[in-house]
C-alpha cells in the first residue's frame, strides 16, 4: 500500500515559485530522504505534507485519505502524522513524560494506557530514566530523542523529520542515524526525512528525492544516484563528481559506449544519444600515471600536479590537464606524486549524463 | 482569585439593583451640595425617617443638569428629588414641565423670595456670594465690589466660572442685571487680568494657598476654611450680595412620592436648618442664630435678581463669560 | 535565498487560517468593533447629522468660533512644546541608561517612569503644590514665588513643562526599545576601527535610533493633545484653554444639547491624533523583533561619572521626587495655606478618606473591581489576538490590531462621549440601558485597555518558536486546546504583566470616568477630582498619596517577577 502519494504539487510565495510539479509515491515503511541545497524547496514540501501550508495545485494522499487538493484541506491536527522539528519544539513547561504523552491526552486516551505508551516510547529511545525531567535539563541529543519519542507514542503511519540532526555534533549524529534506521525497520512507519547532507541521505534512505530550484532532479535508490545520476546537479551534489564534456562515438553494447575525452579513447557507462555530451567522473575513475613511460594521446592525457591532499588512508591529486583550461581534476591515488611533477592519467570509468530534457527520471 | 470574583459579583449585583425601578422606601437625590455635608444631611434625615434609604448623586450643578437632561432624552429619569445650587436651573426644569407642584409644602415661615409661585421648588439655604481674601496678602479688608477693579487687586482676583458652578451663574447674572455694574464690571476685571477657576472650590483653594489675593466665592466655603486655619477672611460688599437658595424640588416622575415629600418637608424644617447652621450656612428663618462669626441674617443687603431674566440670559451669559475669560 | 533567510521567512509567512480559526478571529473583531469602534463612529455621525440636510454646517460653525481657534492654537503649541521637551529628555535618558555604565540604573529608571504610573491630574496637583507660593520645599530653599502672585505653572509654559516631564517616559521607553535593536557587531567594528564612544554615539547609534526617536515623539504628541488632567488643573486657572478642556467645559456648561458640536471638536482632536500616528507610521517602522542576541556593551564613563550622576539625580529629584513630596506634605495639612509644623500636621485627611467618606470607600471597591475586570478580560482577548498577530501573521489579526488602537489613541473624553451616545438608549434584546451603571465604565475601560495588554503579549509570542505551536497541531490539538495547554503557559508571565499594566492605569484613571460615573459608581480618579473641585484639596492630596502607594506596590511586584518576562515588558527593568 502506498503510504504517501503526492501528485504534481505546486506552491509559490508571492513571486517566488517554491515548488513545481512535484510528484512522489512512498510505500508503507519506506525511508525516503528529501535532499537538496538550501532553497530547493524540500522544507516546503515537508510542510505541505504536514499541512502547515496549502498547495496551490496538485494533491496529497496519506494512506487512502485525500488530505489536500481538489478543494479539500485537512489541517495538521487531523492528519495523524508525526513530526520531528529541527528545533525539537519541546514544550518547556511540561516534563518529558507530559511532552511525550501530549498527543495521547489530546485524543482522550485513558490514563493507564497513556502511561504505558509513554513508557514504551521512552524505552524505544532509551530515555526511560528521564521521564520526570524538564527539557531545559536535557542535553541536545537527549532533547532530540524526546522529540522522537513524542512522535513514536502516537504510532503514526508517517513520520516527517525536518533536518533533525543539523544541530548535533558529528559523533552524536552518527549514533542518531543508526537509531532512525532501527526505528524505521522496527515500527514499519514511513519516514520522510529532509536533509542537505548527501552522505546522511545516502546512508539512511531507501530512496532519495533530489531537489533543486523547486523541481525534482531524480528519485532513486542511493546506489543509482551515485552511479547513474540523471542530471548534472545530482552528479555534482552527490559524491563531488567532475562533469566534463565528451565526444561520443558509438554504443558498444546495452551498457557501454565508446567515447573520447580530450582525444583520449575510453569506455563509459550509459547510452550515446548524441555526439557531444557530458559525462560525470569520480576521483576513483581516473588512474594516475607517473614516471616517464611514453604515452600516446589517445590512451592517456598529460597534466601537471597542482596540489596533493591527504584523505586519511589515500590521497587526492589535483591535476591540471594540459589540453584544456578545465578546472583541475581530482584523482585518487595511493602514492602521492610530487607537486609540480608532470603526470598522465587514464580514464577507467565514467557515466554519460542523459541529455537535459530527458533528465527527469520517473518514480519507481 | 476567588475573593476577586466574589467582590466582582457583588459589585455586579449591586449595580444591577440600581438599574430599573427603586425599591419602596428608597429615595434618589441629585444634588450639588458637597458630599461630606450631604453625608451629615442624610444621617440627620434618617434620624427622623429611619425607613427611607437615601441614595445620592453629587456633582457640580451643571454636571447634575447634564445628567438629568441626558436621562430625560433617554426617557428614563432616575432621580426623585433634586437639590441644586440655583433657581435658574430649577426654573428651566419647571418650564419644561419636569417638576411636581407640591401644593401643601410647609412654607408658612419661609421668606417669600425662596418660594416658587407655582410651588414647584423651595429654597433651602441662603448662600451669599461675596469677597474672600488672603489675610497674609491683604491688610485692609475690601468693602466694595469696586475694590476689586483696581489694577493691583484685579490681577490677583479669581472667580468661579458659570460653566461649572450654578452659584457663579447666578452671581454673574445678578451682578450683570444691576445697572451699577453690568457687563462693564466683568470686562474691566478681564482686561486687568483676573482669572476664572472652575467651581467655588478652586477659588477658595487658590486664595487660601496664596496664589491669589482675592476671590469671589460663596461665604460658607470661606468661613469653613478660616475655621480650619487657612489664612482667609470674608467680606460682604456694601452694595449687596447675590443669593443662591439651593432649591429643592420633586420630579414629576418621582417613583417614591411620599418619601420625596418627607424629604422636602424635612429640608424646610428647623432641624434641617440647625444642621445647615452647623455646616456654616445662613439659616433661612430670620429668627434663628447664624453660625458664629456670621452677620445676622437681617443685616444682609441683597442684590435684586429677576429669576425669569436670569433664565432667559443664561446661555448668553455663559458664552460671553467664556469669551471674556478664556473659555 | 540563503538557508537562514528561507527558514526565517518560512517561519513567519502569513499562514492560511482554517474556517474555525477565522470564526474565532471574527469574534474578536466583533468585540473590538462593539466596544471601541461603534462609539467613535456614532460620535462622528452625530457631528454630520445634527443639522439635518447640512452635514458640514455644524463643522463650519464650530470651526469658525473664536474659542475653538484659540483652544486649537493652544493645543498645538503646548503639545509641540511638551513633545520637544519630552523627546529631548526622554532620548537623553535612554542614551544615558542604555549606553553608559552608570550605577543604580534600575532605580533611576523607576523614578523616571513614575509619571507614567501616576495619573496626570495627580501629577498636576503635585506640581501645583510644589511651585506654589507656600510650597514647603521651595520656601526652605528660598525659591518660592512671591505670595499673591499667580502660580507660575498656570500658563502655557507650565503645561508644556508638566506634560513634557510626564511624556518623557513614553519617549524613553520607545528609544530604549530601539537601542536594543542596535546590533552589537556594528559598534564593535567601529571600535576596532578606532572610534571613541562619542563618535560612535553620534555616527552610529543616533542614526540607527532616529526612527525610534521619531516614533517616541509622535506618541508623546498624541498623548499631549489628548491629555485632560494637566490642562484641567493648570490651563483653566491659567486662562489657557485647550481642546480637551474645551470639550469638558462645553459639556459642563451647556449640557447634552451640545453633543453635536462637541463631536465636531472631538473630530478635530482625532484628526490631530491621526496626523501624529500617521507620522509615526511613516517615519518609524514598528520595532522589529527584539533580538535575542547580545546586549550592547555599555561604554565606561570614567571621570564623566562625577558630573553625570549628580546631574541625573538632581533632575530626577526636581522633576519627580519633589512634586510628590509636596503632595505628601499637603496631605498632612488641616487646610490649604496653613504652614506645616509639628503642631499643625494632622491625619484627619487620611481618616476622612479611609473611614468617614462612604463615597471614597465605594470608589476603592469600584475602581478595584473595574480595573481587575479590565485587566483580566483584556489579557484573555490579547492571548488569541497576540497569537494570530505574531505566530500566524494573519492579515485579519493585523486589521483588528489597527482598529483596536483607535479607542486608545483617541482622547479619553472623546471615547467617553461616544460610549454615552451608544449606550444611553436601552440595549436591544435586554431592554436595559447601561448608562448610569458600572458597566458603561467597564466598556470604556475595556476599549482603552486592549492595546496595553496586547503589546507585552505580542512581544512574548514574537520570541516563541513557532514550532512549539506546530508540534501541538501535529499532536492533534485544535486551537482551543493549544491555547490552553501550550500557548497560555508559554506566555503566561507576559499576559500577567499586561493585565497588571492595565490594572495600574485603570485603577487611577480620570479622563473616561469623569463623564461616565454615576451615583454609587464613582472611581478613585473621580473622587480625587471632585474633592479638589469642592475645595477639599488636602483630602484630595491624601487620597492621591494612597493611590500612589498602591500603584508603587504593584510596580514593585512586577519588578520582582520581571526575570520571567521577556525583555521590555517591565518598562523600568534596565
Instruction: Give pLDDT, residue B1.
Output: 45
If DSSP codes are grouped into helix, strand and coil, which group holds residue A175?
helix
Same domain, yes or no, for B207 and B90? Answer: no
pLDDT band at C211 (very low <50, low <70, confident <90, very high): confident
The residues, ordered by sequence, that sit 6+ positions from C138 with a Cβ below 8 Å of its Cβ are: C130, C131, C132, C144, C145
Which positions in chain B touch C439 (Cβ < 8 Å)? 15
For chain C, domain boundaries: 78-242+296-331
Instruction: Give pLDDT, residue C462.
Output: 83
Which positions in chain C touch B14 (Cβ < 8 Å)? 520
* Residue C163 Ramachandran class (φ > 0 left, ψ -120 to 50 alpha, else beta): alpha
Measure in Å the smallest separation between the Cα of C308 and chain B Cα atoms: 36
Q: Which position has the higher pLDDT, C257 or C508?
A: C508
If DSSP codes are grouped into helix, strand and coil, which group holds residue B247?
strand
Instruction: Give pLDDT, residue C285.
Output: 56
CA-wise closest residue to B173 among B101, B89, B74, B280: B89
Q: Which position has the higher pLDDT, C27 or B14?
A: C27
Measure in Å the smallest separation between the Cα of C473 and chain A Cα atoms: 5
Instruction: Give pLDDT, residue B18.
Output: 41
Q: What is the DSSP letter of A347?
A: E
* Sign of the alpha-carbon dihedral angle for C208, C212, C218, C220: negative
Residues C441-477: tens digit of each pLDDT:
999 999 988 888 888 888 888 888 889 999 999 999 9
- Outline which parts of chain A fall under CATH 2.40.50.140: 241-356
Q: Answer yes or no: is B295 within a domain.
A: no
Same domain, yes or no, for B203 and B319? Answer: yes
Could you tell me which chain C residue has the CA closest to the CA of B29? Answer: C519
Q: Distance between CA atoms of B154 and B135, rounded to whole angstroms? A: 17
Superfamily classification of domain A2-233: P-loop containing nucleotide triphosphate hydrolases (3.40.50.300)
Whether chains B and A touch (3+ CB pairs under 8 A) is answered by no
Sequential DSSP letters for A195-214: ES-HHHHHHH-SEEEEEETT
Model confidence at C378: pLDDT above 60: yes
Which positions in chain B touch C329 (Cβ < 8 Å)? none
The minimal CB distance from C476 to the residues A52, A90, A107 is found for A107
pLDDT band at C144 (very low <50, low <70, confident <90, very high): confident
Instruction: Give pLDDT, residue C51.
Output: 65
Residues C420-435: tens digit of each pLDDT:
778 877 777 777 777 7
Superfamily classification of domain C78-242+296-331: MetI-like (1.10.3720.10)
Burial class for C202, CB neighbours closer than 10 Å (0-12, 13-18, 19+): exposed
The residues, ordered by sequence, that sit 6+ positions from B112 with a Cβ below 8 Å of its Cβ are: none
Measure in Å the smallest separation between the Cα of A238 and chain C Cα atoms: 19
Across the B/C interface, how many CB contacts are shorter than 8 Å?
211
Instruction: Give pLDDT, residue A359.
Output: 44
Mutate to test the interface with C, among B12, B159, B211 (most CBs of C within 10 A): B211
Q: Which position has the higher pLDDT, A113 or C338?
A: A113
Judged by a CB distance cut-off of 8 A, whether residue B221 touches chain C is yes
The residues, ordered by sequence, that sit 6+ positions from C271 with a Cβ below 8 Å of its Cβ are: none
Interface of C with B in 423-442 (CB under 8 A): 424-426, 432-433, 435-439
Q: Enumerate the H helices of chain A as residue ranges.
A: 42-50, 96-106, 111-125, 140-154, 170-187, 198-204, 222-227, 232-237
Which positions in chain C touch B73 (Cβ < 8 Å)? 256, 424
CB contact under 8 A, C532 and B70: no
Model confidence at C547: pLDDT above 60: yes
Q: Which position has the higher pLDDT, B70 or A249?
A: A249
Sequential DSSP letters for C315-332: HHIIIIIHHHHHHHHHHT
Sequential DSSP letters for C152-163: TTSSHHHHHHHH
Same domain, yes or no, for B141 and B112? Answer: no
CB contact under 8 A, C255 and B71: no
Same domain, yes or no, for B268 and B254? Answer: yes
Q: Distance between CA atoms of A216 and A221, rounded to whole angstroms? A: 14
Q: Answer yes or no: is B115 within a domain.
A: yes
CA-wise closest residue to A151 among A178, A185, A191, A116: A191
The minimal CB distance from C518 to the residues B57, B198, B205 is found for B57
Instruction: Give pLDDT, residue A12.
Output: 92
Q: Answer yes or no: is B58 within a domain.
A: yes
CB contact under 8 A, A77 and C473: yes
pLDDT band at C147 (very low <50, low <70, confident <90, very high): low
CB contact under 8 A, C490 and A38: no
Q: What is the DSSP letter of A52?
A: S
Same domain, yes or no, for B316 and B178? Answer: yes
- Outline which parts of chain A fall under CATH 3.40.50.300: 2-233
- Using CA atoms, how far residue C245 sits from C239, C365, C416, C544, in Å, is 11, 28, 14, 21
**Which residue numbers of C have CB closer than 8 Å to A's CBs?**
1-3, 6-7, 9-10, 13, 15-16, 18, 465, 467-468, 470-478, 481, 485-486, 489-490
Across the A/C interface, how many CB contacts are shorter than 8 Å?
85
Same domain, yes or no, for B151 and B236? Answer: yes
- Using CA atoms, how far residue B64 sits from A245, B56, B86, C138, C251, in Å, is 97, 11, 12, 39, 11
Q: Domain A241-356 is in which class?
A: mainly beta
Which positions in chain C touch A82 (Cβ < 8 Å)? 474
If DSSP codes are grouped into helix, strand and coil, which group holds residue C103?
coil
A357 near A277, Cβ under 8 Å?
no
Instruction: Give pLDDT, residue C377.
Output: 94
If DSSP codes are grouped into helix, strand and coil, which group holds residue C212?
helix
pLDDT band at B17 (very low <50, low <70, confident <90, very high): very low
| Rounded (10°) CA dihedral C476, C477, C478, C480 | 170
The interface predicted TM-score (ipTM) is 0.79
Question: Which range is least confidently modeled, B52-66, B124-138, C20-34, C44-58?
Answer: C44-58
Judged by a CB distance cut-off of 8 A, whether residue A106 touches chain C is yes
Mean pLDDT over the full length of chain B? 82
Which positions in chain C touch A83 (Cβ < 8 Å)? 470-471, 474
- Structural domain including B251 reads 2-125+246-290
Could you give the number of structural domains in chain B?
2
Model confidence at B8: pLDDT above 70: no
pLDDT band at C543 (very low <50, low <70, confident <90, very high): very high
Q: Distance between CA atoms of C528 and C542, rounded to whole angstroms? A: 9
CATH of the domain at B258: 3.40.190.10
Same domain, yes or no, for B142 and B231? Answer: yes
Judged by a CB distance cut-off of 8 A, whether residue A266 touches chain C is no
Q: What is the pLDDT along chain A (364 residues), one digit of tens a residue?
A: 568 999 999 999 988 999 999 999 999 999 999 999 988 999 999 999 999 999 999 999 998 899 998 888 998 988 989 999 988 889 988 899 999 999 998 888 899 999 999 999 999 898 999 999 999 999 988 999 999 999 999 889 999 999 998 888 888 888 889 989 999 998 899 999 999 999 899 999 999 999 999 999 999 999 999 999 999 899 988 877 888 888 888 888 888 999 988 888 899 998 888 888 899 998 888 888 876 666 666 777 888 889 999 988 889 999 888 877 778 889 998 888 889 888 888 899 999 998 875 544 433 3
pTM of the model as a whole: 0.77
Same domain, yes or no, for B42 and B135? Answer: no
Sequential DSSP letters for A65-91: EEEEETTEE--GGGS--EEE-TT----
Which positions in chain B touch C147 (Cβ < 8 Å)? 134, 136-137, 210
Q: Answer yes or no: is B51 within a domain.
A: yes
Read off the pLDDT of each residue in C545-553 and give the average, rounded to a whole number. 90
Model confidence at B104: pLDDT above 50: yes
**In this prediction, what percent of chain C has a pLDDT beyond 70?**
89
Interface of C with B in 318-357 (CB under 8 A): 334-338, 344, 352, 356-357
Mean pLDDT over the full length of chain C? 81
Same domain, yes or no, for B201 and B133? Answer: yes
CB contact under 8 A, C420 and B70: yes
Amino acid at each position: 500500500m502506498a503510504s504517501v502519494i503526492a501528485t504534481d504539487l505546486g506552491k509559490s510565495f508571492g513571486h517566488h515559485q517554491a515548488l513545481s510539479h512535484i510528484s512522489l509515491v512512498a510505500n508503507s515503511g519506506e525511508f525516503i530522504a528529501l535532499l537538496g541545497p538550501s532553497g530547493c524547496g524540500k522544507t516546503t514540501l515537508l510542510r505541505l505534507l504536514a499541512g502547515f501550508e496549502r498547495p496551490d495545485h496538485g494533491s496529497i494522499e496519506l494512506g487512502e485519505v485525500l488530505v489536500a487538493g481538489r478543494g479539500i484541506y485537512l489541517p495538521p491536527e487531523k492528519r495523524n502524522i508525526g513530526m520531528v522539528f529541527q528545533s525539537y519544539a519541546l514544550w518547556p513547561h511540561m516534563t518529558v513524560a507530559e511532552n511525550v504523552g501530549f498527543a495521547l491526552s489530546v485524543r482522550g486516551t485513558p490514563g493507564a494506557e497513556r502511561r504505558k505508551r509513554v513508557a514504551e516510547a521512552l524505552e524505544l529511545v532509551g530515555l526511560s530514566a528521564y521521564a520526570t525531567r524538564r527539557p531545559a535539563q536535557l542535553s541536545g541529543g537527549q532533547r532530540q530523542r524526546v522529540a522522537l519519542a513524542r512522535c513514536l507514542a502516537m504510532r503514526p503511519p508517517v513520520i516527517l523529520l525536518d533536518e533533525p540532526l543539523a544541530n548535533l555534533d558529528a559523533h552524536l549524529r552518527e549514533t542518531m542515524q543508526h537509531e532512525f534506521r532501527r526505528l524505521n525497520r522496527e515500527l514499519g512507519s514511513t519516514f520522510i526525512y529532509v536533509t542537505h547532507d548527501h552522505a546522511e541521505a545516502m546512508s539512511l534512505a531507501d530512496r532519495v528525492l533530489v531537489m533543486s530550484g523547486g523541481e525534482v532532479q531524480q528519485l532513486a535508490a542511493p546506489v543509482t544516484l551515485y552511479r547513474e545520476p540523471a542530471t548534472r546537479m545530482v552528479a555534482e551534489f552527490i559524491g563531488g563528481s567532475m562533469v566534463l564534456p565528451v565526444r561520443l562515438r558509438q554504443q558498444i553494447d546495452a551498457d557501454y559506449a565508446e567515447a573520447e575525452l580530450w582525444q583520449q579513447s575510453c569506455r563509459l557507462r550509459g547510452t550515446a544519444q548524441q555526439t557531444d555530451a557530458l559525462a560525470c567522473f569520480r576521483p576513483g575513475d581516473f588512474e594516475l600515471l607517473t614516471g616517464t613511460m611514453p604515452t600516446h594521446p589517445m590512451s592517456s592525457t598529460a597534466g601537471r600536479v597542482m596540489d596533493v591532499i591527504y584523505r586519511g588512508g589515500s590521497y587526492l591529486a589535483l591535476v591540471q590537464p594540459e589540453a584544456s583550461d578545465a578546472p583541475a581534476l581530482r584523482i585518487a591515488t595511493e602514492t602521492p606524486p610530487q607537486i609540480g611533477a608532470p603526470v598522465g592519467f587514464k580514464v577507467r570509468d565514467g557515466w554519460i549524463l542523459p541529455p537535459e530534457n530527458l533528465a527527469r527520471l520517473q518514480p519507481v | 482569585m476567588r475573593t476577586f470574583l466574589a467582590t466582582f459579583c457583588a459589585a455586579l449585583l449591586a449595580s444591577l439593583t440600581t438599574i430599573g425601578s427603586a425599591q419602596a422606601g428608597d429615595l434618589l437625590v441629585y444634588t450639588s451640595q458637597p458630599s461630606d455635608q450631604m453625608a451629615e444631611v442624610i444621617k440627620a434625615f434618617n434620624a427622623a425617617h429611619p425607613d427611607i434609604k437615601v441614595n445620592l448623586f453629587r456633582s457640580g450643578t451643571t454636571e447634575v443638569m447634564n445628567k438629568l437632561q441626558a436621562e430625560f432624552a433617554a426617557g428614563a429619569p432616575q432621580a426623585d428629588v433634586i437639590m441644586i445650587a440655583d433657581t435658574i436651573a430649577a426654573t428651566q426644569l419647571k418650564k419644561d414641565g419636569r417638576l411636581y407642584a407640591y401644593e401643601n409644602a410647609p412654607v408658612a415661615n419661609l421668606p417669600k423670595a425662596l418660594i416658587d409661585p407655582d410651588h414647584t421648588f423651595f429654597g433651602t439655604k441662603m448662600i451669599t456670594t461675596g469677597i474672600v481674601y488672603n489675610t497674609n496678602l491683604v491688610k485692609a479688608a475690601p468693602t466694595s465690589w469696586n475694590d476689586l477693579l483696581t489694577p493691583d487687586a484685579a490681577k490677583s482676583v479669581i472667580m468661579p466660572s458659570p460653566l461649572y458652578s450654578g452659584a457663579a451663574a447666578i452671581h454673574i447674572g445678578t451682578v450683570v442685571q444691576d445697572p451699577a455694574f453690568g457687563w462693564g464690571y466683568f470686562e474691566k476685571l478681564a482686561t486687568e487680568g483676573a482669572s476664572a477657576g472652575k467651581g467655588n472650590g478652586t477659588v477658595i483653594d487658590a486664595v487660601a494657598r496664596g496664589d491669589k489675593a482675592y476671590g469671589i466665592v460663596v461665604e460658607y466655603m470661606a468661613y469653613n476654611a478660616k475655621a480650619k486655619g487657612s489664612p482667609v477672611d470674608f467680606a460682604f460688599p456694601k452694595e449687596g450680595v447675590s443669593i443662591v437658595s439651593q432649591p429643592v424640588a420633586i420630579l414629576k416622575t418621582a417613583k417614591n412620592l411620599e418619601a420625596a415629600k418627607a424629604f422636602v418637608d424635612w429640608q424646610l424644617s428647623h432641624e434641617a436648618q440647625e444642621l445647615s447652621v452647623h455646616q456654616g450656612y445662613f439659616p433661612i428663618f430670620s429668627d434663628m442664630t447664624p453660625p458664629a462669626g456670621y452677620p445676622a441674617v437681617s443685616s444682609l443687603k441683597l442684590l435684586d435678581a429677576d429669576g425669569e431674566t436670569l433664565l432667559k440670559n443664561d446661555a448668553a451669559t455663559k458664552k460671553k463669560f467664556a469669551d471674556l475669560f478664556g473659555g | 535565498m540563503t538557508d537562514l533567510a528561507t527558514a526565517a521567512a518560512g517561519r513567519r509567512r502569513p499562514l492560511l487560517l482554517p474556517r474555525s480559526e477565522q470564526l474565532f478571529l471574527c469574534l474578536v473583531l466583533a468585540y473590538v468593533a462593539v466596544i471601541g469602534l461603534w462609539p467613535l463612529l456614532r460620535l462622528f455621525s452625530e457631528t454630520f447629522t445634527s443639522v439635518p440636510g447640512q452635514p458640514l454646517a455644524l463643522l463650519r460653525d464650530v470651526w469658525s468660533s473664536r474659542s475653538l481657534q484659540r483652544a486649537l492654537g493652544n493645543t498645538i503649541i503646548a503639545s509641540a512644546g511638551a513633545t520637544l521637551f519630552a523627546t529631548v529628555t526622554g532620548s537623553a535618558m535612554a542614551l544615558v541608561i542604555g549606553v553608559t555604565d552608570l550605577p543604580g540604573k534600575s532605580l533611576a529608571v523607576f523614578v523616571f517612569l513614575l509619571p507614567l504610573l501616576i495619573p496626570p491630574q495627580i501629577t498636576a496637583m503635585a506640581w501645583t503644590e510644589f511651585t506654589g507660593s507656600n510650597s514647603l520645599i521651595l520656601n526652605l530653599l528660598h525659591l518660592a514665588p512671591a505670595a499673591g502672585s499667580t502660580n507660575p505653572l498656570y500658563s502655557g509654559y507650565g503645561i508644556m513643562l508638566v506634560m513634557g516631564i510626564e511624556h518623557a517616559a513614553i519617549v524613553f521607553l520607545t528609544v530604549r526599545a530601539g537601542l536594543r535593536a542596535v546590533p552589537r557587531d556594528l559598534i564593535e567594528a567601529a571600535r576596532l576601527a578606532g572610534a571613541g564612544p562619542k563618535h560612535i554615539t553620534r555616527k552610529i547609534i543616533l542614526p540607527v535610533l532616529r526612527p525610534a526617536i521619531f516614533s517616541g515623539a509622535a506618541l508623546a504628541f498624541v498623548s499631549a493633545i489628548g491629555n485632560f488632567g494637566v490642562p484641567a488643573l493648570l490651563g483653566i486657572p491659567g486662562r489657557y484653554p485647550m481642546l480637551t478642556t474645551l470639550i469638558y467645559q462645553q459639556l459642563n456648561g451647556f449640557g447634552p444639547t451640545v453633543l453635536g458640536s462637541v463631536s465636531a471638536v472631538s473630530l478635530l482632536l482625532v484628526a490631530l491624533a491621526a496626523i501624529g500616528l500617521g507620522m509615526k507610521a511613516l517615519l518609524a517602522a514598528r520595532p522589529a523583533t527584539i533580538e535575542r542576541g547580545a546586549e550592547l556593551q555599555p561604554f565606561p564613563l570614567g571621570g564623566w561619572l562625577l558630573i553625570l550622576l549628580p546631574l541625573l539625580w538632581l533632575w530626577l529629584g526636581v522633576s519627580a521626587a519633589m512634586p510628590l513630596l509636596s503632595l505628601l506634605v499637603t496631605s498632612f495639612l488641616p487646610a490649604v495655606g496653613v504652614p506645616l509644623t509639628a503642631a499643625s500636621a494632622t491625619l484627619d485627611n487620611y481618616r476622612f478618606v479611609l473611614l468617614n467618606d462612604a463615597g471614597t470607600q465605594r470608589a476603592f471597591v469600584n475602581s478595584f473591581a473595574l480595573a481587575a475586570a479590565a485587566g483580566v478580560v483584556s489579557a484573555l482577548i490579547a492571548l488569541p489576538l497576540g497569537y494570530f498577530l505574531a505566530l500566524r501573521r494573519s492579515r485579519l489579526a493585523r486589521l483588528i490590531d489597527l482598529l483596536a488602537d483607535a479607542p486608545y489613541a483617541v482622547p479619553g473624553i472623546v471615547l467617553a462621549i461616544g460610549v454615552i451616545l451608544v449606550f444611553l438608549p436601552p440595549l436591544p434584546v435586554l431592554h436595559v440601558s447601561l448608562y448610569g451603571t458600572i458597566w458603561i465604565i467597564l466598556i470604556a475601560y475595556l476599549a482603552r485597555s486592549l492595546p496595553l495588554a496586547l503589546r507585552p503579549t505580542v512581544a512574548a509570542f514574537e520570541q516563541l518558536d513557532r514550532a512549539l505551536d506546530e508540534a501541538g497541531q501535529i499532536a492533534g490539538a485544535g486551537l482551543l486546546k493549544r491555547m490552553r495547554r501550550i500557548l497560555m503557559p508559554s506566555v503566561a508571565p507576559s499576559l500577567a504583566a499586561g493585565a497588571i499594566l492595565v490594572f495600574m492605569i485603570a485603577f487611577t484613571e480620570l479622563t473616561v470616568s469623569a463623564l461616565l460615573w454615576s451615583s454609587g459608581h464613582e472611581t478613585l480618579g473621580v473622587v480625587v477630582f471632585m474633592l479638589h473641585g469642592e475645595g477639599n484639596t488636602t483630602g484630595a492630596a491624601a487620597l492621591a498619596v494612597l493611590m500612589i502607594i498602591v500603584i508603587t506596590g504593584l510596580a514593585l511586584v512586577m519588578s520582582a517577577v520581571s526575570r520571567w518576562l521577556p525583555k521590555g515588558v517591565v518598562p523600568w527593568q534596565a
